[in-house]
A and B are shown apart, each in its own frame.
Chain A
Amino acid sequence: MTMTARPLVHKTAMPGLGLSAGITIAMLSIVVLLPIGALLLKGASFGLTNVLEVVGRERVMASLYLSFKLSLLAALFNLVFGVLLAWVLVRYRFPGKRILDAAVDLPFALPTAVAGIALTALYAPNGAFGSLAQQVGLKIAYTQAGIFIALVFVGLPFVTRTVQPVIEEIEQEVEEASATLGASRLHTLRHVILPMLAPAALTGFALSLARAVGEYGSVIFIAGNIPLRTEIAPLLIVIQLEEFNYDAAAAIGIAMLVISFAMLLAINLIQIVSRRKMGHV
C-alpha cells in the first residue's frame, strides 16, 4: 500500500463533487475549525507557561477537579441505571412503556436552562424534594449533590440509547443454551448478557461523561457557584470573559478542550476494540 499512488479523490461520474466538498469544507472551517484555531492561537500567544500558570491556580484546579469528579459519578450512576432501563424497556411488557421510552429522550429535548431552574425549584429547601431532604437533614440544591443531580439529568439518555439496540439483537438461543447448561438466570445475566452489553454501555458511559464535563446551563442554577466548593469549570470561563480577561478564559478553555479530546479518543478506542472483539458495534 503506497500512499503516493493513491489519488486524493477517486475519479467518478457522480456529480456535485465541487459543490458538496465546497460547502462542507467552507462551513466546517468558518463555524468549527477557525474558531477552535482562534482559541489555540490565543493560547499560543499567551504562552504555554502562562496557560499552565492559570490552569494551576487553586480556583481553576478546584473547578476542573469538581467538574470531572461529579461528571464521573453522574456517568457511573447513568451507566447502572441506563442499562437497567434499557433492559426493562426492551424485554418487559407493561402499561405505559411507550411513554417511558419516549421520556428517556426528554433530557435531550429540554433546554438546559429550563432543566436548571426546574431542578432548582424541586431541590431547593422550599421545593418538593428539597423540603423532604431537609427533614432528614440533607441539603441538595446549592451543594455538590445538586450538581450531581443536574449532571445525571443531562446524561441520562446516552447509556440507554446505546444499549437498547444491542439488547434487541441478542439471540435468545444464547440465553437458552446457557440455561440448558444449568446456569441460573442471574448467572446467565452476569456472565452471558452483561459482557455482550459492555462495549455499548461503555460508549454510552463515555458520551455521558463527555457531556457532563462541559455542561453549563442545567448546573449553574442549582450549583450555588461558591468558589472552590461548587464552582464548575465552564462557569469560570464565563466569569473571566465578563471581566474581559480573554487570556485566562482561553487558558481554561484549552484545558477543557484537551480533556474533551482525551475523552473523544477514549470513545473511539472503545469502539475500535469492541469492533475487533464483537465484529460490529
Chain B
Amino acid sequence: MSDTALPRPAFRVATDEAPLLRIVLIAIAVAGLAVLVFAPLAVVFAEALKHGWSAAIQSLGNRDARSAIQLTLLITAIAVPANAAFGIASAWFITKFDFRGKAFLITLIDLPFSVSPVVAGLCIVLLFGANSAIGGWLVANGWPIVFAIPGIVLATIFVTFPFVARELIPVMIEQGRAEEEAALTLGASGWRTFRTVTLPNIRWALLYGTLLCTARAMGEFGAVAVVSGKIRGQTATMPITIEMLYNEYLSVAAFSMAALLTALALVTLLLKTILELRHADQLAATRRH
C-alpha cells in the first residue's frame, strides 16, 4: 500500500469500488475494446501490408482504384455541403420560428437514421429507377439517376441526412433568439445577422456535424450498393470497390483501399476528439452520444 506512487488514504472512500473490483472492470473494458475494436483496426493494416508497402501502394495506383477514389471524393464533395446547407436551413427554421408540427418535422428529419441503408437505396431505385414514371422520363431525357452518379449522391445524402441538423438544433435552442433580435433591431440585414451573429456561435457545432457527415459519406456502402449498379470505373465508389476486389480474392488490393478509408476515418476521429476537448462548451449539451 505505502509503496504506490500516489498518496492514498489508508481507508477506502465509501463511494469507491473495492480496488480489486475496479481492476477487474478496467481489465474487462480494455480487453473488450482490444478484441472488438483494436484487433479489426490492426488487421486492416496488417492485411494491406502483407506483401509490403510497394504492393499496397501499387494496388491503389491502377485506373479503377484511382477512379473509385475520385468518385468517392466527388460524392463527398457534393453530399456534405448539401447536408450542411440543409442542416443550417432546417435548424434556422426550427429554432427561430414557432409553428405547428415542429416536433413532427424533427422526427421526419431523424427518420433516415432508423431506416436500413439498403431500404433507403431501394426507395431511391423505386422513385428514380428507369421503371418508374419519374425515372423513365429522366432517362428518356438523358438524365439517368439510378446506376449513375446522381443516385449515389441522393443515397449518400439520405443516409447522412440528420447529421448536421441534429448537431445545430440543440445548440441554437440553447442560444435563443435574443442576439439575432438585437442585431436586427440595430438595423443589420438578415444575411448580415446570420453571418456575424449566428454563424460564429454555431461554427464548432457546424464543423462537428460536418465531420460526422463526411466520415459517413465516404464510407457508405449499403445504400450506395443498391443504387450504384457497381460499374467499374464509373459508379464504383471506394467501399464498393473494396467489395468487388474482396470477392475476386484480391485481398491485398481490397485491404489497401480499406486501409486508405480507415486512415481517413482515424483522421476524422482525431479531429472530432480535438473538437470535443477544445470546444466542448460550444457543442450540443447532449454532446456525447
| Residues on A facing B (Cβ under 8 Å) | 6, 8-10, 12-17, 19-21, 23-24, 27-28, 30-39, 41-42, 81, 84-85, 87-89, 92, 94, 96, 98, 100, 102-115, 117-119, 121-122, 127-129, 149, 152-153, 156, 161-162, 164-165, 172, 175-176, 179-180, 185, 188-189, 210, 213-217, 221, 234-235, 237-238, 241, 246, 249-250, 253, 256-257, 260-261, 263-264, 268, 281
Contact = CB atoms under 8 A, between A and B. Distances in A.
Q: How large is the interface on B (under 10, 10 to 19, 20 to 34, 35 or more residues)?
A: 35 or more
A268 B242 CA distance: 37
Given A38-B127, A165-B287, A176-B15, A238 B26 contact: no
Contacts of B180: 14
Nearest to B83: A27
B221 A263 contact: no
Which 5 pairs from chain A and chain B are nearest by CB? A111-B219, A214-B116, A15-B190, A35-B123, A179-B14
A118 B225 contact: no
B119 A257 contact: yes
Contacts of B43: 118, 121-122, 127-128
Contacts of B209: none
Contacts of A129: 35, 39
Q: Which of B118, B194, B238, B240 has the most CB of A within 10 A?
A: B118
Contact of B258 (A31, A106, A113): A113
Q: Is the interface of A mostly helix, strand, loop or mixed?
A: helix
B60 interface: no
Contact of A106 (B32, B216, B265): B265
B269 interface: yes
A100 B221 contact: no
A35 B126 contact: yes
A39 B126 contact: yes
Interface of B: 14-18, 21-22, 25-26, 28-30, 32-33, 35-41, 43-44, 47, 82, 85-86, 89-90, 92-94, 96-100, 105, 107-109, 111-120, 122-129, 131-132, 154, 157-158, 161, 177, 180-181, 184, 189-190, 193-194, 212, 215-216, 218-222, 225-226, 238-240, 242-243, 246, 254-255, 258, 261-262, 265-266, 268-270, 272-273, 286-289
A114 B123 CA distance: 25
Contacts of A214: 114-119, 222
B269 A88 contact: no
A260 B37 contact: no
Nearest to B96: A14
B120 A35 contact: yes
